[in-house]
């Protein structure tokens, strides 16, 4: 039987390449006890600390395989285009770089790495450069930050 060609990545996986990679970290925790649920809503407000907390919650939810929580932190355009199940499936097919990417984002946030852009009312989007020309991008929606892209 000839080997199967790899499936083409979904639109979500292409757009959220780095995000998709983070989610594979959940595979490393497969079989372990479920992680306690964090607050699934992004923190209220458009401050820089709220942006950092949203991105950290997102990366942590992916690391722990909490797809509903991760999905709830996405922007409206991504929530409308994908389900938590689709998010998990896309990420499982994204490749083995997830644990490193999630750890990098969380380490950058923990080290106080600067966000680019202007937070606060009228600000945004904001970005966290993660290296290799890539960045996590958050947008303001209804007074809260949401993860919109990982470029």
| 115 CB neighbour count, 10 Å cutoff | 21
Tell me the pLDDT tens digit for each residue of 52-93: 999 999 989 888 889 999 999 999 999 999 899 988 887 777
- Residues paired with residue 137 on neighbouring β-strands, in sequence order: 127, 149
Going by C-alpha positions, the residue among 106, 142, 138, 113 that lies closest to residue 124 is: 138
Question: Which pLDDT tens digit goes with each residue over 91-104?
Answer: 777 776 666 777 78
Task: Write the CB contacts of 107 (distance below 8 Å, at least 6 apart in sequence).
Answer: none
The confidence score (pLDDT) of residue 20 equals: 42
The tokens describing 43, both together, are: 């923190």
Give the tens place of pLDDT for each residue, 122-150. 777 999 998 888 899 999 999 999 999 86
Query: SS3 of 79, please?
Result: helix
* Mean pLDDT confidence for 17-43: 45
Rounded Cα distance, 145 and 138, in Å: 6
């Amino acid at each position: 039987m000839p080997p199967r060609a790899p499936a083409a990545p979904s639109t979500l996986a292409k757009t959220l390449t780095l995000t998709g990679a983070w989610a594979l970290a959940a595979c490393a925790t497969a079989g372990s006890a479920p992680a306690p649920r964090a607050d699934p809503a992004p923190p209220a407000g458009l401050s820089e600390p709220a942006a950092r907390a949203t991105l950290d919650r997102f990366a942590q939810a992916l690391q722990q395989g909490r797809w509903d929580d991760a999905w709830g932190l996405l922007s409206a355009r991504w929530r409308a285009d994908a389900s938590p199940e689709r998010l998990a499936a896309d990420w499982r097919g994204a490749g083995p770089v997830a644990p490193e990417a999630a750890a990098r984002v969380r380490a950058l946030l923990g080290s106080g790495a600067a966000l680019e852009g202007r937070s606060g009312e009228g600000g945004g989007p904001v970005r966290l450069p993660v290296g290799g020309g890539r960045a996590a991008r958050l947008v303001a929606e209804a007074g809260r930050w949401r993860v919109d892209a990982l470029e």
